[in-house]
Amino acid sequence: MLAAAALAAIAVFVLYLCLVALAEPLLTVRDAFARTDVIVVLGGDGPPRAAKAAELWLAGLAPRILVSGDGDCLYIRDAMIAAGVSRGAITTECRSGSTRENAQLSAPILAGSETASATLVTSWYHSRRALASFERACPRIDWKSNPTEPPPTFPGAAFSHHGPAIAQEYAKTVVYALGDLARDIEATDKPTGWCAGEPA
């Protein structure tokens, strides 16, 4: 029994390491630098996301920033201002509590300004699911992904807070994909107005 338990534990650990190692190619979308109308930065891991969004704004990637997500929404705003971003360039959406809600509650704000292109900033391992959610909510917008950078070493990713978050991200990605498939079958949750390319 002890030998079987030990082998199971080793197998789980090896699987965990494999999931972390594959996070960059499987979970990450990283587009080339391109100017867009707005940077959309998601809450959840505030300091690195705020730093990345501020870096892109200061580099002239986009004139505006939308912060989306409850919890650290105002922290991200204030951190970006401290980094040199103009307060007037920042809009906040501080009610959403999930990636899908980030997209759904950001959509009317983006539609109101007739946004044609946007850069999404989130954690590197969260970028594929986040991008899919925003493309679904606003397919008319040309979305780019410019996420945070992973830790410089594999142990830094596997044996830090990133590791468990990466493992959870695989499950969340599957759940979101199945949920979107169900919505497509039921023909619900379809975008309308500007985001769908229809008259507002």
* Predicted confidence band of residue 199 (pLDDT cuts 50, 70, 90): low
* pLDDT tens-digit readout, 140-157: 999 999 999 999 999 999
pLDDT of residue 122: 98
Q: What is the mean pLDDT of residues 110-136?
A: 96
* Predicted confidence band of residue 3 (pLDDT cuts 50, 70, 90): confident
pLDDT of residue 198: 60
* Predicted confidence band of residue 57 (pLDDT cuts 50, 70, 90): very high
Whether residue 129 has pLDDT greater than 80? yes
| Gyration radius from the chain CA atoms | 18
C-alpha count within 13 angstroms, C-beta hemisphere, residue 192: 4
- How confident is the prediction for the chain on average, in pLDDT? 93
pLDDT of residue 28: 98
* Strands 38-42, 64-68: pairing kind: parallel
**41 SS3 class:** strand
Q: What is the mean pLDDT of residues 151-164?
A: 94
Q: What is the mean pLDDT of residues 107-111?
A: 94
Whether residue 96 has pLDDT greater than 70? yes
pLDDT of residue 4: 79
Q: What is the mean pLDDT of residues 19-48?
A: 96
* Predicted confidence band of residue 190 (pLDDT cuts 50, 70, 90): confident
Report d(CA 170, CA 133) in Å as an integer: 15
Residue 108 CB-density burial (10 A; 0-12 exposed, 13-18 middle, 19+ buried): middle
**Torsion, CA 69, CA 73, CA 76, CA 82, rounded to 10:** 150
E strand map for the chain: 38-42, 64-68, 90-93, 117-121, 142-145
64 Cβ contact list (under 8 Å, min separation 6): 37, 38, 39, 89, 90, 91, 113
pTM exceeds cut of 0.75:
yes
Report d(CA 129, CA 137) in Å as an integer: 12
- Domains in the chain: ranges and CATH: 27-196 (3.40.50.620)
Please give the full DSSP string across 64-97, using - where no structure is assigned.
Answer: EEEEE-SSSHHHHHHHHHHTT--GGGEEEE----
